[in-house]
Structure 1
Amino acid sequence: MSAGATPTRWRSVLPHLGYQLPPDRSPVRPDGTQVTVNLPMELVRQSIRQREHWPIPDEVLDAYRRFRPTPLWRATGFERAVGARVPIYLKYEGGNISGSHKLNTALAQAYYYRQAGVEELVTGTGAGQWGTALAAACAWFGLRCTVFMVGSSLERKPYRGVLMRMLGAELHASPSGLTEVARAADGSTGNSLSLAIGEAVEYAAGRDGAAFCIGSGETYSILHQSVIGLEALDQLAALGVEADTVVGAVGAGSNFGGVALPFFADAAARGVPAPRLVAAESAATPKLTRGVYAYDRTDETGTGPLEAMYTIGSDYRIPDSHSAGLRFHGAAKLVSAMRHAGQVEAVAVGQVAALDAGRHLTRSEMVLPAPESGHALAVAAQLAGGDTERGAWGPILVCVSGSGYLDLAAYQQLLAGELTDEEPAAAVLRAAQAGLEPVPAAPILAQVRR
């Protein structure tokens, strides 16, 4: 693939991990039967097979070529603004209709669900980037789309809702009055992506021809996002640059996995050490830095499979913040396993520091990043300036996962000095994590860490 080309294959990291991901555990219904997951078989295969390269279907590739490859450049202005001692390169994913990297997997999933005979996709979304991406993908492939969006985010970002409706989606603020899981909520879960996802799961289950569709935490969605890192590898190579550190923001993990894991796979295939892979998360939902590695549910219904993840506890009531799409209680099972194996690192960032990093990027590079991306930029600035325990020794690649034009209310609060940070107290986290079953120790993980 040339530096100016769109990848024609996704690349999986699974063959290079050195261990198997812990299996999901299916909860049991009150009638004693197990819950089953309704996924197109190709997505199932992409999640479990030890296959490195997966061809991108022609129809998906045709859509990709309308906005890919995405730009990569050295951010010299940002380097000066933050006092960087090493080069910082940006990979920008905000130039498509959804304004984020989410469209990469939305198009792929809509294609596979349509091939499986599904007529409507239903989802939950936090800041609205995933909901917008899925609405666009459904419009492209002729599917109906229903979105449950975290209510506080929709209130702050009403134009994200307008865009989804422009694309033909039916939109509901969560908690809504449409589902039992919302009616059973005690009113404190209004800022929860878990609740929005739970509503989508329940709603889809009750409609003929509909299927629930998720955008971030699943292994197949991380595979689809590998186009980001694959392009970045070739773009950096064309510049004669090797990244010392790769940074991406983590809600559940698709953005970070998309930019970082192709570097891991490439290094493993060549038999050389991988760059340092650093996940930037919200200090309001610090699953990778303060969570436990345990089996937890992925949504408020508790009917989906229990997954092995780093989690702050699905019962934890997440405070409102502009971390938006990062406001999820757990990390993807793939990212979590790699964190447990010592193959990736994590740093938590408050919303004030994240938005301040976004302000620096706006003024120095003429790019307005989404608040989620600001977390990655803040970590990159820390590493580049040597302000952490171990700063970067060479070039840093950071993924700017989305545009911030529909997040200007957050920046308005930053400029007015109205933002504060709220981090969970240790006792609250312990209570939310109580009763979770730890992931059994796997000897291979200890071997990888050594």
Structure 2
Amino acid sequence: MTAALPTQWRSTLPYLAEPLPPDLTPESVSGGAVGVNLPLELVRQSVSSREYWPIPDEVRDAYRTFRPTPLWRATGFERAIGARVPVYMKYEGGNVSGSHKLNTALAQAHYYRKAGVKELVTGTGAGQWGTALAAACALFGLRCRVFMVESSLRRKPYRGVLMRMLGAELHTSPSGLTQVAARRTEGVGNSLALAIGEAVEYASTHDGVAFSIGSGETYSILHQSVIGIEAQAQLAEAEAAIDTVVGAVGAGSNFGGIALPFLAEARSTGAPLPTLVAAESATAPKLTRGVYAYDKTDATGSGPMEAMYTIGSDHPIPDAHAAGLRFHGAAKLISALRHTGELDATAVTQREALDAGRLLTRHEAVLPAPESGHALAAAAKLATTGADGLRAERGVLVCVSGHGYLDLAAYEQLLTGELGDEAPTEEALLRAVSGLSPVRPGAPLLTGGLR
């Protein structure tokens, strides 16, 4: 199924039931201010009620090397799972980063270069975002520095090789370069929050350097709307009907990209809203077992406190192959929609995710990343027996957000029976969120997907 390359991104902000809760600055939280080095256009994209945003010509030119991305009906996968309804796949792995992350990396590199920034620095979990930013910086003539979660880089050393080939300076996290790493506590070595915190600290102490993040910010979710916009056109061309949209959630850009254009279209036309299902890792179950509270976005605590579904930024998240999903909180836009009941969530174990990935490999000849396997496992349940009270009745659209060619060590553990799962206990979650402030004053802090 083909589609024209979109000329505009589409925002969901005009259709929120209520405005996003304001961030709490470090000054209002702890008496210390912090400077924010963010291009004004990205600020506007995060707060404006404008619905459509033109994609800059040089960003669109870069998109042409891999967009539009393919969408197809996965009949082999349907037969393998015994689906009752059609399952459609939107595949985002066909670019140098191997994932959807390049959609926003290119846009951010464009805006930061226009703002006079010389180097972008970031933290990355599975390495997809670090690779995407390295590629975007190479194309737009910027230096790039990446802090990657140590356990992920150990498992996927060739992610590091690819980033270095693209010209990036790569550091394992925890590194020896930052104070936040020196102050780390036990268990934080596998933390994406720490890698992000190191990048934030590094950017704040070096001239001409800016921190760039690829998933949780409202502007990055806007840039990902090209996924859902293309999918809508491709489904219409095929005269295909779906009533459920599924994407994996770390912070929320891939899910937001595939799902939120459907929300905007439904709100603007009065059409029925499909069921939007966020598939998260059972090792970091913020949307299904977390609380809606103000929490840190990184380990430094120097950035704004944001309203999010969270399991606590200080919670030591277990090591798992769902590296890109191993983040303590969901994006404030995704969290707000969860809070108002406009999206649903389900938690998936890594064994379920990799089993689903193996099925896709065998029956569709596409090897998905473990993160994408979470969305596939959720889609399989929704198309068959149902999950968490949800079941598709007409068809399922699922975003396969990246390829798994650099994740074969995870699949090897699945094949040899060495794969395990570790979900947080209720007691551990309660400890991790006990000091947080609820977004709604007076609301109790309870785990279990508080809405």
- The interval holding the TM-score normalised by the smaller chain is over 0.9
- 8 Å contact kept, 1:138–1:144: yes
User: What is the CA-CA distance between 1:21 and the residue it aligns to?
Assistant: 0.4
- 8 Å contact kept, 1:314–1:329: yes
Distance 2:428 2:37 in 1: 34
What's the counterpart of residue 275 of structure 1? 274
3-state SS of 2:245 partner: strand
Residues 1:200 and 2:196 aligned together: no
- 8 Å contact kept, 2:2–2:70: no
3-state SS of 2:189 partner: coil
Distance 1:180 1:390 in 2: 45
User: What is the CA-CA distance between 1:32 and the residue it aligns to?
Assistant: 3.8
What's the counterpart of residue 434 of structure 2? 434
What's the counterpart of residue 217 of structure 1? 216
Unaligned runs of 5+ in 2: 443-450
**Matched ranges for 1:90-129 at <5 A:** 90-129=89-128
**Matched ranges for 1:230-379 at <5 A:** 230-379=229-378
- 8 Å contact kept, 1:127–1:325: yes
3-state SS of 1:222 partner: helix
Mean Cα displacement is larger for which, 384-393 or 399-408? 384-393
3-state SS of 1:25 partner: coil
What's the counterpart of residue 417 of structure 2? 417
Distance 1:390 1:187 in 2: 38
Percent identity over the alignment is: 72
User: What is the CA-CA distance between 1:34 and the residue it aligns to?
Assistant: 2.1
Deviations 1:101-142 (A, max 9, x none): 000000000000000000000000000000000000000000
Mean Cα displacement is larger for which, 141-150 or 200-209? 200-209
Residues 1:399 and 2:399 aligned together: yes
User: What is the CA-CA distance between 1:29 and the residue it aligns to?
Assistant: 9.2
TM-score by length of 1: 0.97
User: What is the CA-CA distance between 1:390 and the residue it aligns to?
Assistant: 2.9
User: What is the CA-CA distance between 1:17 and the residue it aligns to?
Assistant: 1.3
User: What is the CA-CA distance between 1:18 and the residue it aligns to?
Assistant: 2.4
TM-score by length of 2: 0.96
- 8 Å contact kept, 1:216–1:253: yes
Mean Cα displacement is larger for which, 268-277 or 118-127? 268-277
User: What is the CA-CA distance between 1:277 and the residue it aligns to?
Assistant: 0.2
Amino acid at match of 2:43: V
**Matched ranges for 1:22-101 at <5 A:** 22-28=21-27, 32-101=31-100
User: What is the CA-CA distance between 1:33 and the residue it aligns to?
Assistant: 4.1
Amino acid at match of 2:122: T
User: What is the CA-CA distance between 1:35 and the residue it aligns to?
Assistant: 2.1
User: What is the CA-CA distance between 1:44 and the residue it aligns to?
Assistant: 0.2
What's the counterpart of residue 448 of structure 2? none
- 8 Å contact kept, 2:17–2:340: no
User: What is the CA-CA distance between 1:37 and the residue it aligns to?
Assistant: 1.9
Amino acid at match of 2:294: Y
Distance 2:222 2:354 in 1: 29
User: What is the CA-CA distance between 1:186 and the residue it aligns to?
Assistant: 2.5
Distance 2:272 2:184 in 1: 47
Amino acid at match of 1:191: N
Deviations 1:314-362 (A, max 9, x none): 0100000011100000000000000000000000000000000000000
Deviations 1:268-308 (A, max 9, x none): 11111210000000000000000000000000000000000
What's the counterpart of residue 137 of structure 1? 136
What's the counterpart of residue 185 of structure 1? 184
Distance 2:84 2:167 in 1: 47
Question: What is the number of residues matched between the two proteins?
Answer: 443
Query: Cα distance 1:128–1:79, how it changes in 2: closer, same or farther (>3 A)?
Result: same
Amino acid at match of 2:196: I
RMSD: 1.6
Distance 1:31 1:244 in 2: 45
- 8 Å contact kept, 2:105–2:133: yes
- 8 Å contact kept, 1:225–1:257: yes
3-state SS of 1:163 partner: helix
3-state SS of 2:207 partner: coil
User: What is the CA-CA distance between 1:411 and the residue it aligns to?
Assistant: 0.1
Distance 1:401 1:186 in 2: 32
Distance 1:379 1:314 in 2: 26
User: What is the CA-CA distance between 1:73 and the residue it aligns to?
Assistant: 0.1
3-state SS of 1:149 partner: strand
User: What is the CA-CA distance between 1:391 and the residue it aligns to?
Assistant: 1.3
Distance 2:190 2:403 in 1: 22
User: What is the CA-CA distance between 1:5 and the residue it aligns to?
Assistant: 1.0
Distance 1:418 1:164 in 2: 29
- 8 Å contact kept, 2:280–2:348: yes
Mean Cα displacement is larger for which, 29-38 or 153-162? 29-38
